[in-house]
Structure 1
Amino acid sequence: MDHRIAADSASRFEAYVAGLVSLIGHADRARPLRDYCVGLLMPCERKSVEPMAAVTAPERTAAQHQSLLHFVGEGRWSDEKVLAKVREMILPEIVRHGQIDAWIIDDTGFPKQGRHSVGVARQYCGQLGKQDNCQVAVSLSIANHHASLPVAYRLYLPDQWTTDDERRRKTGVPADIRFRTKPQIALEQIRAASAAGLPRGVVLMDAGYGCNTELRSSISALGLTYVAGILPNTTVWAPGTAPLHPKAWSGRGRPPKLIRRDHNHRPISVKQLALGLPAKAWRTIAWREGSAEQLSSRFARLRIRVAHRDYNLTRSRSEEWLLIEWPKGEAAPTKYWLSTLPQNITFGNLVDLTKLRWRIERDYQELKQEVGLGHFEGRGWRGFHHHATLCIAAYGFLISERETIPPSAPRSTAMVQKAGIPKGDRPRGSPAAARAAHSKLDCRHAPTARSRLRQTPATLPVLRRSDHKNRQTTKIYDAVRLVWIVF
């Protein structure tokens, strides 16, 4: 049974890669494209060029290393076109399980030493949870409750990089790249997705993006709804309150047009508003199955108007939802969101869509742990984006494959033992994997091709499938192994 599944998977993989080959130009790029994707799917400890060359072409490692290095670092093929093709091939598989519910904005960081890799600077790194030397990329993913897929991905170039001509030249930063804030990059990606006619969904974003009033307004101008995380000090007009109308015209000069505030007409912070809500305003709502039980928390929602600098406006902003989460046992509310979803949306659906943002966290987890998104060791702009594009392409294939592997499908122990796994592989759920999850991957030295070839194969441990979350992760894990067994 496993032999047949693996053979079918390999056949689909070849067809998938063939679909991408048409987008990269020269025919001599077809083999490096295939081999690079295979390398990303192999359970190597590190998915940088040297170890992937050793695994995909052990008899000619040096030549393979040069081929893959040139293909990803210097190849003049379009990331946008390849990502569009990936989307074209994978989107039907995703929407087969339901319409697109969300467009998810986020960014991810890669710890990095030195100052010469493109975009590296001391800035907040989500992987480390603090400020440190790293690269940061902004992405847009489309998602439903079945799966999600990144459709845009771009390096954030800090301001000190945009004015450093020498570093720009050495890393190949295109001449038209200028400084853009992360929200500005995200808005460009959303506009491109809208222009491309992608199935629309509510735009989900955390407070790093949601606090940006211009971004929220621009999303609304595109005809899209959003659920945006905000900070506790965000000010709003509570239900039943509003700013004053413009002053009455005295008959001299221009008639006053701006709305006003006074001592009795002041907005309130969302935290202050939440703390003053009566007990009956809070409801316990469950939204999805978690690792041990259904996830639930206490929420309140109410209709408000955002007050941020509205004294420069001629009228108040439109009403929208304020959603507040206050888990039992916490001294104060923990999360706040603004949303332009319809007024008649049910409380449960509002929470469910808000919490769908967990999909992007799963994307990044699997892109980094299974496909090696953060393992690129080059310094250039082109190589950074080419590697990410191919990681997303490989991840898209895994999304399409996981449905071919039933959660209860038997696995052939003999076949898995024969195939083996490299010594450094850390299966999802193992103590070693847990310890490695927050390591500075980019600071580790890649094993040499020579040392990798000497590794002793090990047997594949049996994976627990105790809950829905683990089953989904295991399907990605199994899809990786199926491809590796064949190739």
Structure 2
Amino acid sequence: MKTKKNPAVAADISVAARRWPHRLNDLIHTISDRLVRPETQHTAHDLLGGLLAPLARKNCWTLAKHAGHPNPHHFQHLLSRARINEVGLVEDLRTYARTHPGEQDAVLILDETGDLKKGTETVGVQRQYTGTAGRIENAQVAVYLAYATPAGHALVDHRLYLPRSWTNDPQRLQTAGVPEHVAFATKPALAEQMITAALAAHTPTAWVAADEVYGRNPHLRRTLEEHRLGYVMAVARTERLMLPCGPATVGELAVLAPGTAWQRLSARPGAKGQRFYDWALIDAEPAPSGCRWALIRRHRTTGELAFYRCYAPEMVPLKRLVAVAGRRWRVEESFQQGKGLAGLDEHQVRTWCSWHRWSLFAMLAYAFLAAMAAIEARQSPSMAELIALTCNEIAHLLNALFATDPDIEHVLGWSLFRRSHQANARQCHYRRQAFQEL
């Protein structure tokens, strides 16, 4: 694959890519105060490099082999026994994740994801529902907080969910190294902890988005309203609201809404066109300081309905609430890319400390890719014939260009071909959608 058609673009990519390893070193320098000892910093650098590598499996053994270590002991020590300021590391992650995508129009997004496990020894594991499998499985579930702006998104905090089968068993907690102060907490309670920590760290945001697990929790909603944070959170069709005319479920409101109540708006642009739905906004009971609504989304072809509780400290247009609702899907992309590119779900650790540290370093590795994508999008002019560099493409180039004796022209040629092909496909989808809208 040659680059003769786009030599200038290929040269720009090559120059940009050569900055990425230095920026990874800058990230290590940013968190170095949290890692205390120089050898811990070196091991953390090797761990981040391995998490970004295209390995079939990512665990201490495979990462140690990739880094040239004689055994996995350095990584195992880093995850379980090394002196690390984990609270400070989370603060650095939050700061880093918002520095490059920027602070304009930021939304915090709550969601959980599960990792399927075998056995019963891994901390937090039990048979429970996880969206990863779409059913009840033996799994470990954690709640994550994502930070998203139009320029990018990354995971910035996490909490492991401990079921009552664990918190009611002190011996099991002690074996897994769970701190004594940790008690049972619901997923919304864990979400509230992360929101409170983010606000205490002055994270710039005015909105929170979440799915039904969090939207149906009145205590979490009340906490957000007390902080005057707007929210758009999904609820079930059986969710009851107090209206001026009396109580009603959101499902009943969808049936009673007149045709004039529905507006066609795009939740956000996608690879195959704008994501248009029909939306209806209905005033709900007034808040002590602010406005509350029920938001209903209707699929244009199937008629499938989705429901949301909404709040804002002041009146906002429907378009703004729709934009926040559409931003929620960024956390799904963060999970997919964090797992596929940074090994978020590939840990083979059993204890509390090791799980938290592995997840933190995986989130840092993914935040690095998101930061590089935001930087290149800001520094490189947009081109209609090429899509912007994505996290996937940056990870591919990072490994291909810095492999032993790479064929740079071949690597860049294929990168340009992929981005050109994806840009053509996107343009075709948008033209077809525009034609269908006529």
TM over 0.5: yes
Say if 2:250 is the partner of 1:241.
no
Q: State the TM-score, normalizing by the size of structure 1.
A: 0.75
Q: Relative CO higher for 1 or 2, CA cutoff 8 Å, sep ≥ 6?
A: 1
Q: How much has 1:206 moved relative to structure 2?
A: 0.6
Say if 2:147 is the partner of 1:142.
yes
> Which residue in 2 is equivalent to 1:8?
19
CA separation in 2, counterparts of 1:268 and 1:469?
47
User: Which of 127, 132, 138 is the aligned partner of 2:132?
Assistant: 127
Which amino acid in 1 is paired with 2:321? Answer: L
1:276-328 C-alpha deviation (Å, 9 max, x unpaired): 1111111111132212111101111110129xxxxxxxx99975111101112
CA separation in 1, counterparts of 2:51 and 2:400?
19
Secondary structure of the residue aligned to 1:44 is coil
> Which residue in 2 is equivalent to 1:324?
296
> Which residue in 1 is equivalent to 2:215?
210
> Which residue in 1 is equivalent to 2:204?
199
Q: How much has 1:143 moved relative to structure 2?
A: 1.6
> Which residue in 2 is equivalent to 1:68?
75
CA separation in 2, counterparts of 1:290 and 1:469?
14
Distance change in 2, residues 1:163/1:278 (3 Å): same
> Which residue in 2 is equivalent to 1:49?
60
Q: How much has 1:348 moved relative to structure 2?
A: 1.6
> Which residue in 2 is equivalent to 1:232?
237
Q: Which runs of 4+ in 1 moved over 6 A?
A: 315-318, 408-413, 468-471
> Which residue in 2 is equivalent to 1:77?
84
Structure 2 counterparts to residues 49-198 of structure 1, below 5 A: 49-57=60-68, 60-62=69-71, 65-95=72-102, 99-198=104-203
1:96-144 C-alpha deviation (Å, 9 max, x unpaired): xx51421111111100111000000111111101111100111112221
Name whichever of 375-384 and 345-354 sits farther off: 345-354
CA separation in 1, counterparts of 2:388 and 2:169?
55
Say if 2:275 is the partner of 1:295.
yes
CA separation in 2, counterparts of 1:158 and 1:470?
45
1:18-48 C-alpha deviation (Å, 9 max, x unpaired): 2212211122211111000000011111121
CA contact (8 A) 1:236 1:268 kept: yes
Secondary structure of the residue aligned to 1:23 is helix
1:219-254 C-alpha deviation (Å, 9 max, x unpaired): 11122221111110111233x414xxxxxxxxxxxx
CA contact (8 A) 2:290 2:311 kept: no
Q: How much has 1:92 moved relative to structure 2?
A: 2.0
Kindly indicate which of the two structures has a greater share of residues assigned to helix. Answer: 2
Secondary structure of the residue aligned to 2:42 is helix
Q: How much has 1:84 moved relative to structure 2?
A: 1.0
CA contact (8 A) 1:416 1:460 kept: no
Say if 2:323 is the partner of 1:364.
no
CA contact (8 A) 1:320 1:339 kept: yes
CA contact (8 A) 1:233 1:270 kept: yes
Q: How much has 1:15 moved relative to structure 2?
A: 1.7
CA separation in 2, counterparts of 1:299 and 1:25?
52
> Which residue in 2 is equivalent to 1:397?
368
Which amino acid in 2 is paired with 1:159? Answer: R
CA separation in 1, counterparts of 2:196 and 2:289?
23
User: Which of 253, 262, 265 is the aligned partner of 1:282?
Assistant: 262
Q: How much has 1:466 moved relative to structure 2?
A: 4.8
Q: How much has 1:7 moved relative to structure 2?
A: 2.6
Say if 2:358 is the partner of 1:387.
yes
CA contact (8 A) 2:387 2:422 kept: no
Which amino acid in 1 is paired with 2:63? Answer: M
User: Which of 305, 308, 320 is the aligned partner of 1:334?
Assistant: 305
CA contact (8 A) 1:83 1:393 kept: no
Kindly indicate which of the two structures has a greater share of residues assigned to strand. Answer: 2
CA separation in 2, counterparts of 1:174 and 1:383?
13
> Which residue in 2 is equivalent to 1:477?
none
Unaligned residue ranges in structure 1 (runs of 5+): 243-266, 307-314, 422-458, 472-487
CA separation in 2, counterparts of 1:416 and 1:103?
33
CA separation in 1, counterparts of 2:230 and 2:138?
35
CA contact (8 A) 1:101 1:353 kept: no
CA contact (8 A) 2:34 2:86 kept: no
Distance change in 2, residues 1:120/1:51 (3 Å): same
